Chains A and B, each alone.
Chain A
Amino acid sequence: MNSAGLRERLNARRIVTSREGSVMFMSVLLSIVFTSLNVNFMTERNFVTIGELITGNSVVAAGQVMLMVMGDIDLSVGAVYALTPYLVYLTYTAGMPMQIGIPLSILAAVAVGSANGLITVVLRVPALIATLGMNFVVTATNLIISNDYQQDMPYQQPYTAIFGGGKFLGIEISFIWTAFAFVILAAMLARMRHGLWSLSTGGNPAGAKEVGVNVNLTKVRNFILCSTLAGIWGLFAANHNFVFGGIGAANPLQGGDTLVLESIASAAIGGTSLFGGSGTVIGAFFGSLLISVLQDGLFITGANAYSYDTLLGIAIILSMVLNMQSRRRSRLGG
């Protein structure tokens, strides 16, 4: 790369006006505002809290990005997020050790993803409605098998620690998994064949098919990927209390519609549109960072608890309007 190109890349203005850059800039700005309102915002303990909020929804949002670049969406992630921990609890109380129970529960998440994918691809039901139906089915299943009761998560080392209930080198292990997942997923979308196939499936399905992309397989794979991520990160959320010596909970309503909406919001704020063909995994991380800072900051400054809903709504609409504008500009070549 020549030096002019490098200078162009490192141009501060360009970084701030890039999609991820502007979202990051907004997060920093918000943090400064919240710090000036309450000194407790800039403390290590609060950073951990923000980290926990990001861990909760950012990876699911990244899974959502993989679907949204194809023009699809998954509304059942919130239900799967609660299904896996409860299955671990059930299998454990049925006498199975966790090394069997955890793979089984993740397999259930894979099954839900496969069902979403097959219904969309084979029956040609729009993803929105297919996964909406699946959301009802899985939520109801959670409530029926749990009899509406929350249970304590079983504890069995090292599996509890590996799946979100412990620390590694002083850092919560779920943070490490989250960072790891983002590296892999970002590389997958930007550098690997599957990512290219996903983008081309969303951009131009007929054209993609003609150049040999297996459109159906790509779709099913991404549905499975998104659902599996939701299942695994649901386990992390359920085991989270073990990190601080508490007891984790298998709550049949964990995640739910809130997670679904937050994951879509993070992806949209990060610059992924629903039209397919373009999107960024790293953007989803920054989108999640922004809404997490917002949520935490409003809480810590003692602001009206329901301002979060209003601001989240405005953030979704505003970021989508910006997405559309930049899309139109790039199409006009300006």
Chain B
Amino acid sequence: MGGRETGFLRRFLSLREGSILVVTAAITVLFAIFYVDFDSPASFFVIATTAAPLITIGTGQTFLLTVGELDLSVGSVFALAPCITLVLYGDGIPLPVCMIMAILCATVVGFTNGLISVKLRVPSLLTTLGMFFLVTGASLEISNFETITSPHGTSFEIAMGGGTVGGYFPTTLIWAITITAVFALIFSYTTHGLWTTATGSNINASLEVGVNTTRTKILNFMMTATLAGFAGVLETMRTETAYALQGGFPLTLQTIIVAVIGGTALVGGSGTVIGTMIGALFLGVLDDGFAIVGLNYNYYLLTLGLVLLAAVAINVRVQTIRRLARISREGAK
């Protein structure tokens, strides 16, 4: 009987999204019980706008972490794409064309990251760190260090992040949820998703069974940068401004945090897009809750660090438990 109990606990822990779901639900209920303001549409709006870009970029980061790489340049691409969009728009090019061109630039950044990391074998940590500087410098150059205002008001602009549905449901969140759904399906049901997991868990074995690991990795780099550029454009339409230092290193770090606390393994081989979404909502709830309680942003940062450390420690433990479980299962056969 004792065996069955530990079995249940283990199975629950082995559910990748399990722990973050429970923690997020618990903290939401706590805030809602003790602070009336938390349970309001305005409060939901704050959570949604904080979480949306984290969900969108975190989805890409989830694929990259699963394949055994990571991208530190997302925070700079988040600024590059909107700066390009609005500068081109200022030259008289129609907005949709500007957006497509800017997001393609983001894709090129991702392709470069992938090429240098995979073909030239530079650790992606350093490739993308260098790329972070490079892209930030480029954004500053392009925008001339000025805050550029974006057009707003038309239905296209509202659909592209510059408005809400019913006043409190930002379109950025609709995009984020759509992206989560699409990429969760890609992750679980397509060859690309399978290859991503396979490459991350054992690259040599994957190569032997014919997985194109190089292409898989580069595609994931491109996907992450594209999503970062797209999230940046959406965010700019929402705030109606673009600024070369928006996002930056803090955003980069948070996209990694949401993936890791969502249950994606840091060492590759296992990931969950849904977990990342819950992780992003957790940060949104935390941010909003702290503001309502009256704790300033510094306490949010402090908690972020502690949550990250705790989540990763648990994450590593769970990986070990899962590995042991697999070994004992195979032993029983």
Chain A residues lying within 8 Å of B266, measured Cβ to Cβ, are: 126, 129
A133 touches B126 (CB 8 A): no
B302 touches A140 (CB 8 A): yes
- The interface bits of chain B over 113-126 (1 if a CB of A lies within 8 angstroms of the residue's CB, else 0) are 00010001111011
- Is A168 close to B, CB under 8 A? no
Q: Report the Cα distance A186→B137, complex, angstroms.
A: 34
Closest CB of chain B to A106's CB: distance in Å? Answer: 22
Chain A residues lying within 8 Å of B140, measured Cβ to Cβ, are: 306, 309
- The interface bits of chain A over 298-328 (1 if a CB of B lies within 8 angstroms of the residue's CB, else 0) are 0000001011111111111100110111001
Q: Report the Cα distance A307→B145, complex, angstroms.
A: 12
Partner of A143, one of B116, B121, B298, B304: B298
Closest CB of chain B to A150's CB: distance in Å? Answer: 15
Chain A residues lying within 8 Å of B145, measured Cβ to Cβ, are: 306
A316 touches B133 (CB 8 A): yes
- Is B81 close to A, CB under 8 A? no
Q: Report the Cα distance A132→B266, complex, angstroms.
A: 13
Chain A residues lying within 8 Å of B309, measured Cβ to Cβ, are: 119, 125, 130, 133-134, 137
Partner of B305, one of A140, A268, A273, A310: A140
- B302 closest partner in A (C-beta): A140
- Is B134 close to A, CB under 8 A? yes
Q: Could you tell me the dominant secondary structure of chain B's interface residues?
A: helix
A129 touches B249 (CB 8 A): no
- Is B84 close to A, CB under 8 A? no
Closest CB of chain B to A76's CB: distance in Å? Answer: 9
A264 touches B249 (CB 8 A): no
Closest CB of chain A to B194's CB: distance in Å? Answer: 25
B312 touches A133 (CB 8 A): yes
- The interface bits of chain A over 260-299 (1 if a CB of B lies within 8 angstroms of the residue's CB, else 0) are 0100110010000111000000000000000000000000
A310 touches B116 (CB 8 A): no
Chain A residues lying within 8 Å of B313, measured Cβ to Cβ, are: 119, 123, 125
- Is A136 close to B, CB under 8 A? yes
Known contacts A309-B140, A313-B135; A129 and B120 CB within 8 A of each other: no
**How many interface residues does A have (CB within 8 Å)?**
49
Total A-B residue pairs with C-beta atoms closer than 8 Å? 134
B298 touches A317 (CB 8 A): no
Chain B residues lying within 8 Å of A137, measured Cβ to Cβ, are: 302, 305-306, 309
B134 touches A310 (CB 8 A): yes
Partner of B302, one of A119, A124, A144, A328: A144
- Is B175 close to A, CB under 8 A? no
- Is B102 close to A, CB under 8 A? no
A261 touches B302 (CB 8 A): no
Partner of A313, one of B123, B134, B267, B312: B134
Chain B residues lying within 8 Å of A125, measured Cβ to Cβ, are: 309, 312-313, 316
Chain B residues lying within 8 Å of A315, measured Cβ to Cβ, are: 130
B137 touches A268 (CB 8 A): no
Chain A residues lying within 8 Å of B131, measured Cβ to Cβ, are: 313, 317
A144 touches B299 (CB 8 A): yes
Q: Report the Cα distance A312→B76, complex, angstroms.
A: 14
Closest CB of chain A to B208's CB: distance in Å? Answer: 22
Known contacts A129-B308, A133-B305, A313-B132; A308 and B298 CB within 8 A of each other: no
- Is B260 close to A, CB under 8 A? yes
Query: Chain A interface (Cβ within 8 Å of chain B)?
Result: 73, 119, 123-126, 128-130, 132-141, 143-144, 148, 257, 261, 264-265, 268, 273-275, 304, 306-317, 320-321, 323-325, 328
Q: Which 8 A-B pairs rank lowest in CB-CB distance, beginning with the nearest?
A: A136-B305, A310-B137, A313-B134, A313-B133, A316-B130, A309-B137, A140-B302, A137-B305
- Given A313-B131, A315-B130, A316-B133: 12 more A-B contacts, CB < 8 Å: A125-B313, A129-B260, A132-B308, A133-B309, A135-B305, A274-B125, A306-B137, A309-B137, A309-B140, A317-B131, A320-B126, A325-B120
Can you list 11 A-B contacts (CB < 8 A)? Answer: A129-B260, A136-B305, A144-B298, A148-B298, A261-B133, A313-B133, A313-B137, A314-B134, A316-B130, A317-B131, A324-B121
